[in-house]
Structure 1
Amino acid sequence: MVPTRINLGVGVLLVVLLGAGACAGGEGDGSAGNRPVAAAPAPSSPEPTEASPEPPPPAVSSAPPSVAPTVSPPKSSPSPQGCPTGEKQREVETALDAIGGYGPVTVDGVQSAADCAAIVKFQKRFGISPPNGRAGPTTADVSRRIAASLTPAERAKCAAGGGLTACVDLSQQTMWVVRDGEVIMGPTVVRTGFSGYATPAGTFKIDYRNVKEWSKPYKVWLPYWQHFIDGIGFHETTTYLHNMGNGSHGCVNLLHADAVQLWGLLKNGTTVKTFGRRSGT
């Protein structure tokens, strides 16, 4: 079969593309694709001519002008505008009320401006994203664990003696530091080893520290590294701590601020006690 040759000649095609940009996840802001259309100028009033009659002077009233009564706007209590009620509102209120220190909350399952402010402050402290005041599942889980770790019964499980002890509660996924029976740090949240890499329970000692350790097996930096057993230690998390579907390979992951504070408290020879068991390991 012989192909047929078609001569199309030479043509010019002019294509004009307008509004090619897009803003992912946002609303139109008047940029390309949302340009406002200029309004046509309003017709001007005709200029008066010499033949136009002169308007009569305005009437003058001898009565005093009336004064409208001043009405004060109604006073309203602050509203949690932009701070939605979450499905775990009452649970979070209950936990924050028990924890204290984040501002007043009312345990009624109804969002208020005060509740919102307390929840936002709590979310920022524990690295919960986004810190929008919404009482969702992550905020409820973290607040429940912190509240549980404040109880005398939970603290007693560490069995910290005299001196300095770092307590890691594997069941609650929290930790705190005790000096001579007094809690001097925490409780705060941690994330330990996941299934197949469970952080062991026991009593250990800090035996090596490095402000920035390189993990040869996993090819990642471990900030504020404090080793205590078999390649396992404390360090700042390199991922979002509250993704509990993840976990470490046995290490105790910390938020940045907590890793820094713990680095300043512990030293070689400090006792570390891990107890309980992380769910699913």
Structure 2
Amino acid sequence: MRWLLASIAALSLAVPASPDAPAPAGPACRAGTAPYQRELERELRLTVDGRQSAADCAAIRRLQQRLGIRPADGSANLRTYRLVVADKIRRNPAERRACPARPYRITCVDLNRQVLWAQSGRGLVFGPVPVRSGRDGLETRRGWQRIYQKNRYHYSTIYHVPMPYAQFFNGGQALHGTRSDLFSSGSGGCVNLALGDARRLYDLLQKGDRLYLWGTKPGTGG
């Protein structure tokens, strides 16, 4: 009998905790105020004061976790803000109104918000994804454009850099992939995408496809 009672006690100690038990608290969120503090406070409907608080940091970190942003540290940086904007455009058709709706596929490049997507009518067929357009003095050309050349392995003889998945739409300006940071500086006029996004867009679009580009990249003259 003593042996049986001891066995029952051992088994009770081995029972896992209830799934309803609270999870251990994670590390404290310690990111300070960052350049896009007000913008993210506004997006998250927090008190808009431009100053990071513990509650702000936790809310931004939860948002980063939901969007798969790494590191999810609660920092209100440009990368987080751009990905939040892309997510908002994806979820809300009203955010896509600046791009004309046509019965055929259009690649929409919003230079104001530095975001690209493709749509047919008002239905999304690609993106939205963050991009990097031309820096001051080398701005990306606006208006209606058309893809006239595609080159999966293009190399720029002007800037001496690879331009993978290049899709040219105006002179030397193209949609193409880059390993550079999309959230700093600007391109030489091209519309840069993350490599995976550039590859998927390359596989989707065809020569002759239409693009519509509008707006002004922040910090440039036109």
Give TM-score, length-normalised by structure 1.
0.59
| Counterpart check, 1:146 vs 2:86 | yes
**Whole-angstrom distance in 2 between the partners of 1:186 and 1:95:** 20
What is the one-letter code of the residue matched to 1:122? L
- 3-state DSSP of counterpart to 1:262: helix
Q: What runs of 5+ residues in structure 2 fail to find an aligned partner?
A: 1-11, 46-54
- Which of 107, 119, 122 does residue 64 from structure 2 map onto? 119
**Alignment length, in residue pairs?**
192
Q: Structure 1: any 5+ residue segments left out of the alignment?
A: 1-69, 98-107, 125-130
TM superposition shift of 1:233: 0.8
Please point out which of 102, 106, 109 is paired with 1:161. Answer: 102
Q: CA deviation at 1:266?
A: 0.3
Q: 3-state SS of the aligned residue for 2:64? A: helix
Report the 3-state secondary structure (helix = DSSP H, G, I; strand = E; otherwise coil) of the residue aligned with 1:77. coil
Counterpart residue identity of residue 268, structure 1: K
Q: Is the CA contact (8 Å cut-off) linking 2:106 and 2:119 kept in structure 1? A: yes
1:149–1:172 Cα contact (<8 Å) kept = no
Instruction: Pick closer, same or farther for the CA change 1:230–1:96 going to 2, 3 Å.
Output: farther
Equivalent AA in structure 2 for residue 80 of structure 1 = G
Deviations along 1:212-265, whole A, 9 cap, x unmatched? 10111111110000001111110002311112xx11111000011111110111
Match of 1:277 in 2: 216
Does residue 230 in structure 1 map to residue 175 in structure 2?
no
> 2:39 and 2:113 mapped to 1: Cα distance?
17
Counterpart residue number, 2:160: 219
Paired residue secondary structure (1:109): helix
Query: Counterpart amino acid of 2:58?
Result: Q
Between 1:215-224 and 1:139-148, the stretch displaced more is: 139-148
Aligned positions of 1:66-81 closer than 5 A: 76-81=22-27
Task: Give SS of 1:210's match.
Answer: strand
Mark the CA change 1:205 to 1:110 in structure 2 (over 3 Å): closer, same or farther. closer
Question: How far apart are residue 209 of structure 1 and its match?
Answer: 0.3
Larger of the two Rg values belongs to structure: 1
Partner of 2:205: 266
Gap change, CA 1:189 and 1:110, over 3 Å in 2:
closer
Give 1:148 shift: 5.1
- Offset at residue 155 of structure 1 (A): 0.8
Matched-pair contact (CA < 8 Å) for 1:95–1:143: no
CA contact (8 A) 1:91 1:140 kept: no
Is contact 2:155–2:162 with CA below 8 Å preserved after alignment?
Answer: yes
CA distance in 2, matches of 1:148, 1:118: 12
Q: Identify, as 1 or 2, the structure richer in helix.
A: 2
Contact 1:90 / 1:109 at 8 angstroms: preserved in 2?
A: no
2: CA distance, partners of 1:216 / 1:268: 22
> Superposition RMSD on alpha carbons, in Å?
3.2
Helix, strand or coil at the partner of 1:184? strand
User: Aligned equivalents of 1:188 and 1:208: distance in 2?
Assistant: 22
For residue 200 of structure 1, give the secondary structure of its aligned residue in structure 2. Answer: coil
Residue identity (%): 30
How far has the Cα of 1:144 moved from its partner? 4.3
